[in-house]
């Protein structure tokens, strides 16, 4: 077999056999197939589609590209949560310690920023010293001691996704359900979990822009998990504006810490409570939804979830003092408001553009080898439905590169739609499947 034959087959609309997909994924993971040929195959697949059988084989091959963990040393049910990607979504940092306090073990494998969306690993690595590249032994040990462990794909676990994730990001082949399913489910199934909560984002800051496509993606993801014997619940949640108040790496970590300190107001906290409660329900440690919500709320208001987060930061080499002293997190040197040039109601926000603004100001990578300016971030003053006057701040920007300010100011203003009529409120949690 030659890679170009499989590229040609997909280019011409053919369906690859499971043997051909296996050969491609194994060859790419072993560095025998170069990026340029894999990129061509990804684009051919993106444009011509993958059948259900091809998607299922892709998931299985990517899953078995590395080890599939078992945690026989841990008696608690193993449950995780994964989001399909959004802007301002730092829920993992709150719900993993909160759920762990309530008696589930959370062996979480996350990703980096993808396209305009932020990545949990980048937010964690904003904490000085925090290591997301634990060895298998370290991962197991941290999970046992803390009830949660937070890492990325490694050469041992989900190595195919480790490479393909970065390649898709650079080749505009991210927003395609079969690839999203293979990426997410190969990581999650490798974690050795019993149950999974999926947060499928829908809206202009998500990869699925409308509810129908989000619902289809949720059905595909949940179907793959259930066929593999896992308990899965999928939520469809709104991503037509940044989640919470902060967008950027260190600032989102700060917002997660504030939430763990008991600041439970607003959409971000609402989603954290719901997702973490669903983790308790999926695991079977709780059967009643309102009791599950109360247990999660209590894990936060009692300070236990914060202490668990402190513990895992320390266990993974990070500086736990960031919890008490947020100044230890990187912060942009310059802070400036970007003001509205109109009065009215905020009726829409181009959420993907907000994500790109943070990225282009240094808060994300253009290429894999780029370093991130963790201190870049935006505080979102104006959310959808807010009434604002000309001169009111839309956002406060924290950054280091002043040369980009004027261009970014224009981009932020263009990303906001302000209209005379008050818009209808957007429900945050649209469906639970
Ligand atoms: N999250 C992932 O892990 N992979 C994707 O492709 C999208 C979101």
The domain ranges of the chain are 3-49, 79-323, 330-419
pLDDT value for 369: 77
pLDDT of residue 102: 98
Token pair in block for residue 338:
């970007």
Q: Does domain 79-323 have CATH number 3.40.50.2000?
A: no
The token duo for 374 is: 């963790």
The phi and psi torsions of 320 (rounded to 5 degrees) equal -70, -10
- pLDDT (0 to 100) of residue 370: 84
Q: Ligand 1 pocket: which of 42, 120, 183, 220 to mutate (most atoms <8 Å of CB)?
A: 183
List 71, 82, 297, 308, catalytic entry:
82
Q: Establish how many alpha carbons lie within 13 A of residue 17's alpha carbon, considering only the half-sphere containing its beta carbon.
A: 5
Query: In 3D, which of 178, 189, 203, 169 has the Cα closest to residue 232?
Result: 189
Please confirm, yes or no, whether 340 is among the known catalytic residues.
no
CATH architecture designation of domain 330-419: Alpha-Beta Complex (3.90)
Active-site entry in 89, 161, 199, 360: 161
Ligand 1 mutation target, pool 59, 85, 115, 213, most atoms within 8 A of CB = 85
| Distance of CA 207 from the midpoint of ligand 1 (Å) | 9
Residue 368: HSE in the Cβ half-sphere, 13 Å Cα cutoff: 11
Expressed in angstroms and rounded, the spacing between residue 183 Cα and the centre of ligand 1 is 6
CA of 389 to the centre of ligand 1 (A): 38
CA 187 to centroid of ligand 1, rounded, Å: 9
Q: State the pLDDT at residue 124.
A: 98
Tokens of 160: 């195919």
Strand 387-388 with 195-202, pairing: unpaired
Of ligand 1's listed atoms, the one at least distance from the Cα of 187 is 3
Looking from the CA of 29 toward its CB, the CA atoms found within 13 Å total 23
Atom of ligand 1 nearest to the CA of 180: 6
Ligand 1 surroundings by CB, under 6 angstroms: 84-85, 111, 114, 174, 180, 183-184
Give the gyration radius of the chain's Cα atoms: 21
- CATH architecture entry for 3-49: Up-down Bundle (1.20)
Report the number of secondary-structure helices (H) and strands (E) in the chain: 16, 13
Best residue among 114, 201, 208 to mutate for probing ligand 1, ranked by most atoms within 8 Å of CB: 114
**116 among known catalytic residues:** no
Query: Residue 330, SS3?
Result: coil
Which pLDDT does position 185 carry in this prediction? 97
The answer to whether the beta carbons of residues 201 and 239 sit under 8 Å apart is yes
Q: For residue 310, how far is the Cα from the chain centroid?
A: 21
Q: How many CB atoms lie within 10 A of CB 58?
A: 27
295 is catalytic: no
Q: pLDDT tens track of the chain, all 433 residues?
A: 999 999 999 999 999 999 999 999 999 999 999 999 999 999 999 999 999 999 999 999 999 999 999 998 899 999 999 999 999 999 999 999 999 999 999 999 999 999 999 999 999 999 999 999 999 999 999 999 999 999 999 999 999 999 999 999 999 999 999 999 999 999 999 999 999 999 999 999 999 999 999 999 999 999 999 999 999 999 999 999 999 999 999 999 999 999 999 999 999 999 999 999 999 999 999 999 999 999 999 999 999 999 999 999 999 999 999 999 999 999 999 999 999 999 999 999 999 999 999 999 999 988 777 889 999 999 999 999 999 999 999 999 999 999 999 999 999 999 999 999 999 998 999 999 9
Residue of 100, 111, 101 lying closest to 148 (CA atoms): 100
- Which residue's CA is the closest to the ligand 1 atom numbered 8? 84
In the residue annotation, 410 being an active-site residue is answered as no
CB 269 within 8 A of CB 231: no
Does 82 qualify as catalytic in the annotation? yes
In this prediction, residue 68 carries a pLDDT of 96
Catalytic-labelled residue, pool 168, 201, 297, 308: 168
Q: Within a 10 A sphere around the Cβ of 417, how many other Cβ atoms?
A: 15
User: What residues contact residue 112 under an 8 Å CB cut-off, 6+ apart?
Assistant: 119, 121, 122, 152, 165, 166, 365
- Taking the centre of ligand 1 as the mean of its atom positions, its distance from the CA of residue 294, in whole angstroms, is 30
């Amino acid at each position: 077999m030659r890679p170009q034959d499989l590229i040609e087959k997909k280019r011409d609309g053919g369906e690859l056999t499971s043997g051909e997909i296996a050969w491609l994924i194994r060859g790419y993971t072993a560095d025998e197939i170069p990026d340029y040929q894999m990129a061509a195959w990804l684009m051919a697949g993106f444009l011509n589609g993958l059948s259900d059988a091809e998607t299922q084989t892709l998931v299985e091959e990517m899953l078995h590209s590395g080890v599939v963990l078992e945690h026989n040393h841990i008696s608690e049910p193993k449950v995780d949560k994964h989001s399909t990607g959004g802007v301002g979504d730092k829920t993992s940092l709150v719900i993993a310690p909160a759920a762990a306090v309530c008696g589930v073990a959370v062996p979480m494998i996350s990703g980096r920023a993808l396209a305009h969306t932020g990545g949990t690993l980048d937010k964690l690595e904003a904490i000085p010293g925090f290591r997301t590249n634990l060895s298998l032994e370290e991962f197991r040990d941290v999970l046992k001691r803390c009830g949660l462990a937070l890492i990325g794909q490694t050469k041992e676990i989900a190595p195919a996704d480790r490479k393909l994730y970065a390649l898709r990001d650079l080749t505009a082949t991210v927003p395609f359900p079969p690839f999203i399913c293979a990426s997410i489910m190969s990581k999650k199934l490798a974690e050795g979990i019993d149950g999974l909560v999926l947060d499928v984002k829908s809206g202009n800051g998500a990869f699925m822009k409308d509810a129908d496509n989000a619902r289809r993606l949720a059905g595909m993801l949940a179907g793959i998990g259930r066929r593999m014997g896992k308990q899965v619940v999928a939520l469809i949640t709104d991503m037509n504006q940044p989640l919470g108040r902060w967008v950027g790496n260190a600032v989102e970590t700060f917002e997660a810490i504030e939430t763990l300190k008991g600041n439970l107001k607003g959409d971000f906290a609402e989603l954290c409570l719901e997702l973490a409660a669903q983790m308790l329900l999926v695991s079977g440690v709780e059967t009643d939804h309102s009791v599950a919500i109360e247990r999660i709320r209590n894990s936060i208001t009692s300070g236990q979830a914060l202490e668990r987060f402190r513990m895992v930061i320390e266990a993974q080499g990070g500086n736990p003092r960031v919890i008490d002293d947020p100044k230890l997190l990187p912060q942009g040197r310059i802070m400036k408001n970007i003001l509205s040039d109109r009065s009215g109601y905020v009726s829409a926000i181009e959420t993907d553009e907000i994500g790109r603004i943070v990225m282009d100001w240094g808060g994300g990578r253009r290429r894999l080898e780029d370093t991130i300016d963790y201190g870049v971030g935006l505080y979102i003053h104006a959310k959808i439905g807010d009434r604002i006057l000309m001169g009111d701040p839309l956002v406060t920007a924290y950054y280091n590169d002043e040369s980009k300010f004027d261009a970014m100011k224009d981009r932020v203003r263009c990303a906001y739609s302000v209209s005379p009529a008050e818009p209808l409120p957007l429900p945050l949690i649209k469906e639970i499947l």
